[in-house]
Amino acid sequence: MLNRSLANVLRTTSEHLSKLESLGVTKVKDFLLYFPRTYNDNTEFTKIMDIRTDEVNVIKGKLSNLFTIRTRTGKKLTRGIFNDETGSIEVIWFNQPHLTRMLPRQKEIILTGKAKFSGGKVSLQSPSYEVVRQYEEQVHTGRIVPVYHETEGISSKWIREKLKPLVDEWIELFEEYMPDEVLKEHDLVDYKTAIKNVHFPESDEILKKARKRLAFDELFLLQLKVIQKKWYWQKSTQAKTKNIEIKTDVIKECIKKLDFDLTNAQKRVLKEILNDVKKSFPMSRLLQGDVGSGKTIVAAIAALNIAKNGYQVAIMAPTEILAKQHYATFVKTLSSFCLNIQFIAGSTTSKQKEEVVRQMKSGTVDIVIGTHALIQEKIGFKNLGLAIIDEQHRFGVKQRETLKNYGTPHLLNMTATPIPRTLAITIYGDQDLSIIDEMPKGRQEILTRIVPENKRTEAYRWVEDQIQKGRQAFIICPLIDESDILEVKAVQTEFLHLKEHIFPKLNLGLLHGKLKQDEKDKIMEDFKDNKINVLVSTSVIEVGIDIPNATIMMIEGAQRFGLSQLHQFRGRVGRGGFKSFCFLFPSETSEEALKRLKSMEKFSCGFKLAEIDLELRGPGEVYGVRQSGIPDLKMASLTDTKTIEKARNSAIEIIRKDPLLKEHEKLAEKIAINEEVYFND
């Protein structure tokens, strides 16, 4: 019944139905679950004698002397006198002559609006109205009034009028699906009560309870789904698990040969990974680490352990230059362990590619590092034991899944994009989470400053002086939609301006999203080799690119970027032994913009900045609307740590006791997981 089309239930026009469809509302259920975005508290009535001009007034009384006149400009003015026991006030509506027929005289009416002082008297102009009907609940006034997301032709008032009778008539059809023990443990109201009172709350207290229940539901169902998915993955792969031992002596030897000490965080994360590969099901772990925290070394040591157990390792990076950088790190770190380490990417010649693939299939290659080329047709492995995916969010779900299908290897996803733990366990809850939250000793903090426009010339001269001393600089231009040719024009214009007027004696390079990948790689190689002094770029500069000689990051229009992205840019410098700097040039100096940018001056921890960013802008803005897995939450907040933890713990407990949800059929219907997806070969 709840899936009935609104066209068969709602008395309205086809145009209104089309407008609702644009809001994602086509069925009765959709409409009843179209929750308010906020509320106006109109529960307290104002006496006419106490009316104020600086706030919204809700007054209850009777109309008299209501009539319409035409002004000299041709507009229609409807005027009346509104009375209560304390006095009277003039009421005016513009171009609404029908109100003389609609609004009754000498019957109680509630008006809501702002009063204005004009011509020596106070009047109420264009207030909303509602006739008080005996034994009927008020909908628009005299209560906590829901306010909805609107579209042209669909106002909150229209939604309230249409929703109220539907809520009254259909609410009983909603079935409770939450287990009693969960409701009791978290003191949650029942589902029907929550839906009814989130639309038309009887009080502030019950509204809070309704929102608490619906927010918990959203987070709980998300957690239940990913935790059950994790259980399915572990159950379906138990028989295929690789028998991996921890080669303690080899690992100790590798660590001893490093020319630096591992941080405590690196040691902790390495231990988590090594413990995972001993278990009776394949590892599925997300390794998060701030820029420069040393994720690659941890991955290399883990790969060494797998290879010394006789299995192969694949490392996939989103771009060729990043893959080459990993290849160089792995070769250097593991050079004394007699491993066959190969590289494969788009630039690899056909003959070289054939030979690498032959070695992959025959099992003679121990570790292979590459780009998307690793998951192309005709690629294969003899005994893949570990798949490492760097910057895993840059790959699609199917691309990530491809590596998992080569004999069900252990899987390690890595990212330098700081994701707050609350968001990470919500999006990637089917993976275990490791965080390197400590920077290596000796890594300098990057001095970050907001630079006012009147200091620009001074900053340019200082940058030129640093470059003449042998350093290099990035200059980032704001990102405009990559499908828009304006992006190229904007960065090209800035590039030409800098080259001709600011740094005419320096070698400048230009990088943007319209270039082919091999062109981007060539420019980055030249920059790495110090053939380019200043690289002018859009936001396409790659995460993880290591240019030790680059010490200056200048960001134009800094307020247009999120804090997480600014932190990523900042992480492109400070990777060598030189003091490094990040200069933020805002093109907007509003109080809000500067307050956000000052967080960059104050904090150097990417996770702290990500939390601030998430709270200020929300996950869709921070991580991209198209980011796989970002949930569309109506009631819950991904910054609500306490509720997320409670929801996750309850979900874990249910899956522990009843992983197939055979005793929780309504929950199973709610998350609708297809078991075949997880039990395929």
Q: Phi, psi at residue 677, to the nearest 5°?
A: -60, -35
Residue 616 has pLDDT above 80, yes or no: no
Q: What is the mean pLDDT of residues 631-649?
A: 84
What pLDDT is recorded for position 542?
Answer: 60
Instruction: Indicate if the pLDDT at residue 604 is higher than 90.
Output: no
- Greatest pairwise CA separation for the chain in angstroms: 99
Chain centroid to CA 469: how far? Answer: 41
Query: What pLDDT is attached to residue 531?
Result: 95
Residue 144, φ and ψ in degrees, nearest 5 = -75, 115
487 vs 385, residue with greater confidence? 385
Per-residue pLDDT averaged across 212-238, rounded?
A: 89
pLDDT tier for residue 60 given thresholds of 50, 70 and 90: confident
- pLDDT of 479: 59
* pLDDT for res 138: 74
Residues 111-120 pLDDT 10s: 888 888 887 7
Query: What does the pLDDT look like over 298-315, one tens digit per residue?
Result: 999 999 999 999 999 999
Against a cut of 0.75, is the pTM above it?
no
Q: From CA 229, how far away is CA 231, in angstroms rounded?
A: 5
- Given a cut of 70, is residue 619 above it in pLDDT? no
Give dist(CA 205, CA 472) in Å, integer: 59
Q: In sequence order, what DSSP letters do the residues of 312-333 get, joined into one string?
A: EEEEE-SSHHHHHHHHHHHHHH
Domains of the chain: 1-43+159-171 (no CATH), 44-142 (2.40.50.140), 243-276+294-415 (3.40.50.300), 447-603 (3.40.50.300)
Task: Work out the end-to-end distance of the chain between its first and last CA atoms, rounded to an integer number of angstroms.
Answer: 39
> What angle (nearest 5°) sits at the alpha carbon of residue 575, between those of residues 572 and 576?
140
Residue 434 has pLDDT above 70, yes or no: yes
Q: Is the pLDDT of residue 157 over 80?
A: yes
pLDDT given for residue 400 in this prediction: 63
Over residues 366-375, the mean pLDDT reads: 90
Does residue 492 register a pLDDT over 90? no
Q: What is the mean pLDDT of the chain?
A: 86
Whether residue 58 is predicted with pLDDT greater than 90 in this model: the reply is: no
Question: Which residues, 6+ apart, have CB-to-CB distance to 209 below 8 Å?
Answer: 188, 189, 193, 194, 197
275's CB contacts (< 8 A; 6+ apart) are none
Residue 402's pLDDT is what? 72
The pLDDT of residue 384 is above 80: yes
- Mean pLDDT, residues 152-181: 91
